[in-house]
Amino acid sequence: MLTIDTIDPAAGVVGHYPFKPGEMRSWHALPGASAIRIVLRVDGIAVFQSEFEIKGDSVVSFEIRETPVGWEGSTEGGRPLVPLPSSRITAPSTLRVLQPARAVDVFFLIDGTTLHPNDKREFEPFLRTPGWKETRQKFMKFWEALPAEFPGGVRVGVGAFGDQSMTPGRSDNYVLQPKQWRMTLPAQTERDWAELRATDGGDFIDALADGLHRCAALPWRVDARKLVVVFGDSPGYSVLHAGHGPVALADGQLREYDVYQEAGALHDQNVEIATIFHSPSAEGLRDRTDFAAELVDYARDQYLRLASQPAWSLTSPDWDPVRFAEAWKSWTGMIARGASPPIQPTE
C-alpha cells in the first residue's frame, strides 16, 4: 500500500494517508511550518523523502511519480523535489495550544539598537524618542487585554539586546540588559522598563539570538501560555545565511547563538513568539541604496520567520495591541516550527 506521512492536528500524531502517484494534489500546511516534509511509503517502508520551503503558504501542491530509476516529484510550479536520505527525516517539532490555559507569561524582547528617522531624515535611537513611550503604552494595552481569560493572572518581563561594540571604550554599549531578567506582575516592571536604554549595535547583525537564548532560561510557569514578543529592526545571526547574500559583509562579530536554533529551543518549551518589526527606520534605509534595501528585506523576512505563525509577525507603528491580544488569546491548535508533514485530509 502506498501512503504519505500526514499529521492529525487534533490528535497531534503522524499517520499514513493513502497516496495516488502521478496526481497533482493540494495539501494544507500546519500553521508555523516553514517547510513541507514529504515521506512516501510502500507498505510502511519509506521509499522517497523530501522537503521544500513554503514561506508561510497554507496550501501547497505537489506530485510524486514512479520512474524506471525510482521515485521523483515536483511542485505545482515545476520545482523538482530533491530526495533526502532517510536519516534526515526526524519527528516534526510541534507545539499544541490548548484552551483554557490557567495563566499567561509574556516577555518583551526589545532591540536596543532600533533607529527612527527624524524630520531631517536622519536616524536617531528610537528608545530616546517620544515614540518609544507610545510603544510602551501599546505593550501595556496588550497585557491589560489578557487577564479575564487567565484566572492565574498575567506575568510580564522585559529585556533588551544590543551587540558587542565596534567602537572600543564606549560606555553605552551592551549585549543584553538588564543583568537579571525576571517575570513578575505588570505593576512591578516599571523599574525594568525604565532601565532600558538605547545602544549602538555597530554593525547590521545584532544580538537577537543571545536574547532568545536568555529567554529560554526564564522561569516560565508550566501551566501558563508563554509568549515572547520581539520588537525592533535588527536581525540576529543565522548560520544558514552567514556569508551569503546581503549579510555577507554586514556582521563584524563572532557569534555563539543562531536565531532559528534558539527560536526552536523556545518552541520545544511551548513558548510562542510574536514579532513587531519597526518599519519607519527600515523604510528610511530602503531609500538610500540598493544594498540597504536588501538588508531591510532580509531583516523583515527574519522577523516573519521567527514568529510562531505569519499572522503574529506585525509592523510598528501600525499594530493594534487589543486586536492582537484578542487574536492570540483565542487561538487554539497545533503550531509547527521548521519542516512538518502536511495536514491529514478530513475526507
Per-residue pLDDT band at 276 (split at 50, 70, 90): very high
Q: Does 345 fall in a domain? A: no
pLDDT of 253 higher than 70:
no
Residues 92, 156 within the same domain: no
Residues 132, 277 within the same domain: yes
What mean pLDDT is reported for the chain?
Answer: 88
How many angstroms separate the CA atoms of 325 and 121, rounded? 33
pLDDT of 149 higher than 90:
no
Count: domains in the chain: 2
Q: Does 347 fall in a domain? A: no
φ, ψ of residue 140 in degrees (nearest 5): -65, -40
pLDDT of 319 higher than 90:
yes
315: enclosing H helix or E strand: strand 313-316
φ, ψ of residue 275 in degrees (nearest 5): -125, 140
Residues 90, 138 within the same domain: no
Residue with cell 510502500: 42
Mean pLDDT along residues 84-88: 76
Residues 180, 227 within the same domain: yes
Q: Does 288 fall in a domain? A: yes
> Which are the contacts of 59, defined by CB distance < 8 A and separation ≥ 6?
26, 27, 28, 29
Highest average pLDDT, of 34-38, 251-255, 270-274, 280-284, comes from 270-274
Mean pLDDT along residues 142-162: 91
Report pLDDT for 4.
96
Q: Range with the lowest mean pLDDT among 66-75, 124-133, 164-173? A: 164-173
- If one compares 346 and 322, the residue with the highest pLDDT of the two is 322
Residues 9, 146 within the same domain: no
Per-residue pLDDT band at 252 (split at 50, 70, 90): low
pLDDT of 187 higher than 80:
yes
pLDDT of 95 higher than 70:
yes
The answer to whether 8 touches 335, Cβ cutoff 8 Å, is no
CATH number for the domain that contains residue 264: 3.40.50.410
As given in the structure block, the three cell numbers for residue 157 are 518581563
Mean pLDDT along residues 202-223: 90
Residues 73, 222 within the same domain: no
| 48-69 tens-digit pLDDT | 999 988 876 688 899 999 999 9
Residues 165, 307 within the same domain: yes
Closest CA to 262 of 233, 294, 230: 230
Per-residue pLDDT band at 203 (split at 50, 70, 90): low
Residues 315, 199 within the same domain: yes
> Which are the contacts of 170, defined by CB distance < 8 A and separation ≥ 6?
200
Residues 149, 280 within the same domain: yes
Range of the domain at 209: 99-331
- If one compares 291 and 74, the residue with the highest pLDDT of the two is 74
Q: Does 18 fall in a domain? A: yes
Report pLDDT for 151.
86
Q: Does 326 fall in a domain? A: yes
| 113-146 tens-digit pLDDT | 998 888 777 889 999 999 999 999 999 999 999 9
Q: Does 282 fall in a domain? A: yes
Residues 82, 186 within the same domain: no
Q: How far is CA 177 from CA 58, 100, 139, 234, 267, in A?
A: 37, 33, 18, 16, 23
The single-letter DSSP state of residue 205 is S
Q: Does 346 fall in a domain? A: no
Identify residue 51 by its one-letter amino acid code.
Answer: E
- If one compares 10 and 98, the residue with the highest pLDDT of the two is 10
End-to-end CA distance of the chain: 19
Residues 223, 237 within the same domain: yes
| 289-299 tens-digit pLDDT | 777 788 888 89
How many angstroms separate the CA atoms of 298 and 302, rounded? 6
